[in-house]
Chains A and B, each alone.
Chain A
Amino acid sequence: MKSIPFKKSFEPVSFFLRWEWILVILIILVSILNTFLSPYFLNISNLYDMTFNFLERGFITLIMAFVIISGNMDFSVASTLALSSCIMGILYHEGMNIWMAVLLALVFGAGAGFFNGTIITRLKIPAFAATLGTYAFYRGVAWVLLENNAVTNFPAQFTALGQGDLPGTEFPIPLFVYILLLIPAAIILHRTTFGRYTYAIGGNKEVSRFSGIQTDRIVRIIFTLSGLVSALAGVFMAARYGSVRADIAPDATLDVVTIVVLGGVSIAGGTGTISGVVLSLFLLGIVRYGMNLINVPPQEQIVITGLLLIFSVFIPQVVNRFSLGKEAKN
């Protein structure tokens, strides 16, 4: 495993030989391709509209980066998303003020995440297994609560959250919130000890623990945040649809993990950056959007996304071996 990155002098070659730059190049290439293929692509209104489709998942990718870098996995994000928004819907339906219901949904999400974190750290159940369990359990509870019904008729100020733009502009509110979330995520992961510990735990959990890092506490915090952000995504999704059902976002977890892995975060833990995750979210979003604009059949879209994912796992290996070789020479 790579050692914890420390500040070293700026080396142009190995700096540019990073996964994130490949993502940048891909984004530019795909954008150029899309512009050739469809006259509707390079239109700022359409592009802003495009972002609505993936921003809720985008929120979750920011925290999923922490989860995976720390050597864990959270399969339950989509279920927490669904259950939190169901709870919000039911509370609102029973007469509670919508914002109060939103707040309680967020609190619930954090609690659900904390529950995950606790099972993993105190009961020593591996994250894979624990969150596979809650993936089913939380979704199941959502079905029991809401059954086959939908909660609708949300107030306009609420749905504006998910569908609207910042007043006076065409800038989508969810995009604004995404940026608001991404700044602290980047700062925490790359500039604080908490972030460094996250990498350390992912690199080697036992060694970190023996070095005095409170691994359990950090993992619990990360999972709690995962639940909280999932609930937030659920709130925005409910606002965008104008309705809440037990079955919203059925495949979100896989999507989120795909985006994070494509962003250069290794499943084994210990490596990855927020910028990679951001770039990969937009890359995948632009690829999907471009394909939809020229009406590529959905089955073919899955093939293309799959190829990108394989590519994303394969290339970093090559890049790593290359740059490690360079480091060894120095």
Chain B
Amino acid sequence: MSKKTIFGLLSVLLVLGLVVGCAPKAPAVETPAEEAPAAEAPAAEKPATAKKMTFAIIHLQEGNPYFAVEENGVKEAAAELGVDFIFKGPATMDVASQIELVDSLIAQKVDVIGISAIDPNALVPLGQKAMNAGIKFFSWDSPVAKEGRLLHTDAAAPEALGRVEAQMMGKMLNYEGKVAVISAGATNENSNLWVKWIQEELKDPKYSKMELVEVTYGDDDYQKSYNLAQSLYKKYPDLKGFIAPTSVGIVAASKFIKDEGLTGKVFATGLGLPSEMKEYIKDGICLEMALWNPIDQGYLTIYISEALVNGKLTPKAGEKFTAGKLGELEVVDIGSGNLIVYQGQPKVFDQSNIDEFAAIF
């Protein structure tokens, strides 16, 4: 090989050699005396002294206002319980970035990892790796396949959420007209479940004069969702409504309706954040929409983490635990060992209560 290549490879080997030589083989946290002392003193404490626990909550994407709201709940619960938390998500909604994040958390030996998964299957190997390393691993919002996590927590049953969206749209349109769905990411299992239940609800005879023309995926991206609203309306000029089971999609669809001056002729509904949808609800573009309290969802993830670490939750079907201000919640088995904790029922927002909730979230 040329001298350059030899030296290049030698350099890599040199670096690797330094690493191998200086690092202990066993997964010890402290570095040996010859290296500079590690910066973090708390991390070096042995478990005998009560070390402050760290719970890592991973969401789908940085920059999504919905998760920013959730963080308030996480902070509140962490303060109540006296634990540290890490709350972050990948910069782009892609699986590899989320895997990288979880990997680095496993390396940091956090106590619990709770994740809203971009892809339910790709996180399974990592979930098992975490659990093998003694880290409690569960999913929230967007589930990981059941073999890859201890349990999943959802705000409300997908069936309830899906059906209520279709019901609201039906009421707004007087049960007549064409509707389209603008969903989130194509791989998000929970939004896909909601869409499925929207479709199920629409099979009921009272919706016979309504037609769901298309299901599209806006990836929780505002611009993409807006463009979808545009192209759907162009394709179906007699479209009467958009159902968006995503807080980004519902805003985009509503804005489109407002921009095109279609208020009163075309309607939007779905799952939305009150603070973002207040103007459209008041304008009458969206007469009703649903959600749960995302602050409570964030709050719950920390309480679940604590219950898992302290053994209050094995988890097993039928177990109950107290989630702070949310009261007593139960673990349900929705089939073949698929353990879920539901936060509550969907909450409907309309002109009568939007002001009150827009101030909170």
A residues adjacent to B (C-beta < 8 A): 10, 15, 18, 20-21, 24, 27-28, 31-32, 35-40, 42-47, 49-50, 52-53, 148, 150, 152, 159, 163, 186-187, 190-191, 240-243, 245, 247-251, 273-276, 278-279, 282, 288-289, 292-293, 295, 297-299, 301-302
A interface secondary structure, majority: helix
Measured CB to CB, the closest approach of chain A to B224, in angstroms, equals 13
- Complex contact B7–A42 (CB within 8 A): no
**Is the C-beta of B92 less than 8 angstroms from some C-beta in chain A?**
yes
CB-defined contacts of A24 to chain B, threshold 8 Å: 11, 14-15
- Complex contact B88–A297 (CB within 8 A): yes
CB-defined contacts of B106 to chain A, threshold 8 Å: 49
The residue of chain B having its C-beta at the shortest distance from the C-beta of A162 within the complex is: B125
Measured CB to CB, the closest approach of chain A to B90, in angstroms, equals 6
B residues adjacent to A (C-beta < 8 A): 1-5, 7-9, 11-12, 14-15, 18-20, 22-25, 27-31, 35-36, 38-40, 43-44, 62-63, 86, 88-92, 94-97, 99-101, 103-104, 106-109, 119, 121-122, 124-125, 145, 186-187, 192
Q: Which 9 A-B pairs have the closest CB atoms?
A: A275-B8, A298-B91, A292-B104, A39-B38, A243-B121, A241-B122, A46-B107, A24-B11, A44-B23
- Complex contact A278–B9 (CB within 8 A): yes
Partner of B97, one of A36, A240, A297, A298: A298
CB-defined contacts of A52 to chain B, threshold 8 Å: 103
Partner of B15, one of A10, A27, A242: A27
**Cα distance, A297 to B58, chains bound together (Å):** 12
CB-defined contacts of A159 to chain B, threshold 8 Å: 125
- Complex contact A278–B95 (CB within 8 A): no
Partner of A40, one of B109, B119, B192: B109
- Complex contact B8–A20 (CB within 8 A): yes
- Complex contact B36–A35 (CB within 8 A): yes
- Complex contact B3–A15 (CB within 8 A): yes
- Complex contact B125–A298 (CB within 8 A): no
CB-defined contacts of A249 to chain B, threshold 8 Å: 94, 96
Partner of A38, one of B27, B28, B40, B119: B40
- Complex contact B20–A44 (CB within 8 A): yes
CB-defined contacts of A295 to chain B, threshold 8 Å: 86, 88, 104
CB-defined contacts of A42 to chain B, threshold 8 Å: 19, 22-23, 31, 35
**Cα distance, A52 to B103, chains bound together (Å):** 10
